[in-house]
């Protein structure tokens, strides 16, 4: 998902970091809760599933950024619950994408039958999400969030958000640069780069008030283009993994050969996309992004 202006957090960077952390975490926790309930209550839930997965990623990124302000025991509890929701939403979202892809090319009766089977799996994929909602309700999620944020808001009062950002943003950039400089030998390497890119982009949202708008904007656009280019490869790889698991299950039935053939096709497309990305992601383009990130760090200081 490409970052929009509405996702960029603007806040006074002179404010205490605990206050800022509580405000930013509140917005993210509220979005997760809203989208989780929407998925479980609405018939047209596909877009909410997508938004829920993005929301859990953004919230986990914020929890990680502010880990030094959040009590460790509570942080681990929320991280565990958010990852469980993200996994459930991720499974459902992957099925949504694969179903839509096959539906566009379902000329034969066998393909149409395959799409119908996937549609049934899509409906079942909401059950784990509903289970997560029930668990969080039983655990008193809203009150836990309130107690956490009340505690966080009064922590580190003498540390400004800007001072915190200077120390925290550098290691996130360094982690991305390290991953970006490695050889991309397979789809797992591509996936790792995409994850690091997302972490960096979400961190830039959080620290946006510390950077000049023009500097931040150039960096954001470069990261968004990187994510979009990586997306084609990871989408094909995800589809191949889903089809492979399906081909190994008892649900494949007499469609197994077709599913295996589709899996092979998606793997080929993923490999082609990876090679195309490696050609695009050359030393010049990588160094250009690294220089922009370096300028961003210097401006924050």
| pLDDT higher than 70, residue 94 | yes
Q: Is the pTM of this model over 0.85?
A: yes
pLDDT in tens, 156-172: 888 999 899 988 998 99
Residue 235 CB-half CA count within 13 A: 15
CATH assignment of 160-301? 1.40.20.10
Query: What pLDDT is stored for residue 157 in this prediction?
Result: 83
When mean pLDDT is compared over 5-19, 142-156, 280-294, the highest value belongs to 142-156
Tell me the pLDDT of the chain averaged across its residues.
88
**Domain boundaries defined on the chain:** 12-159, 160-301
Q: Whats the size of the chain, residue-wise? A: 301
pLDDT value of residue 107: 63
pLDDT tens per residue across span 230-276: 988 988 998 899 899 989 987 777 888 889 999 999 999 999 999 99
Confidence bin at 97 (pLDDT 50/70/90) = confident
pLDDT exceeds 50 at position 177: yes
Q: What per-residue confidence (pLDDT) applies to 4?
A: 45
Indicate if 160-301 has the same CATH topology as 12-159: yes
pLDDT at 6 over 50: no
Query: What do you get for the CA distance between the two ends of the chain, in Å?
Result: 29
pLDDT digits (tens, 9 = 90+) for 98-121: 888 888 776 677 778 888 888 888
Does domain 12-159 fall under CATH 3.40.640.10? My reply is: no
Binning pLDDT at 50, 70 and 90, where does residue 1 land? very low
């Amino acid at each position: 998902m490409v970052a929009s202006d509405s996702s960029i957090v603007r806040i006074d960077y002179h404010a205490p970091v605990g206050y800022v952390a509580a405000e930013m975490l509140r917005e993210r926790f509220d979005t997760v809760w809203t989208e989780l309930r929407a998925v479980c209550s609405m018939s047209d839930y596909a877009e909410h599933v997508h938004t829920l997965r993005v929301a859990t990623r953004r919230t986990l990124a914020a929890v990680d950024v502010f880990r030094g302000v959040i009590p460790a025991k509570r942080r681990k509890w929320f991280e565990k619950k958010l990852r469980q929701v993200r996994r459930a939403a991720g499974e459902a979202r992957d099925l949504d994408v694969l179903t839509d892809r096959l539906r566009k090319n379902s000329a034969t009766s066998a393909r149409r039958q395959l799409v119908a089977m996937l549609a049934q799996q899509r409906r079942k994929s909401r059950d784990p999400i509903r289970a997560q909602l029930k668990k969080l309700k039983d655990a008193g999620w809203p009150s836990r969030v309130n107690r956490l944020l009340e505690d966080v808001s009064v922590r580190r009062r003498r540390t400004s958000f800007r001072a915190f950002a200077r120390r925290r943003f550098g290691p996130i950039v360094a982690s991305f640069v390290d991953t970006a400089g490695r050889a991309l030998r397979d789809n797992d390497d591509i996936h790792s780069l995409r994850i690091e890119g997302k972490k960096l982009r979400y961190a830039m949202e959080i620290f946006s008030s510390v950077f000049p708008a023009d500097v931040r904007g150039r960096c954001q656009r470069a990261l968004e283009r990187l994510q979009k280019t990586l997306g084609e490869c990871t989408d094909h790889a995800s589809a191949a993994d889903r089809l492979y698991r399906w081909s190994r299950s008892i649900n494949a039935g007499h469609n197994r050969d077709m599913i295996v053939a589709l899996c092979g096709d998606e793997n080929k497309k993923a490999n082609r996309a990876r090679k195309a990305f490696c050609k695009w992601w050359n030393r010049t383009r990588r160094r250009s992004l690294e220089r922009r990130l370096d300028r961003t760090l210097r401006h924050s200081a």
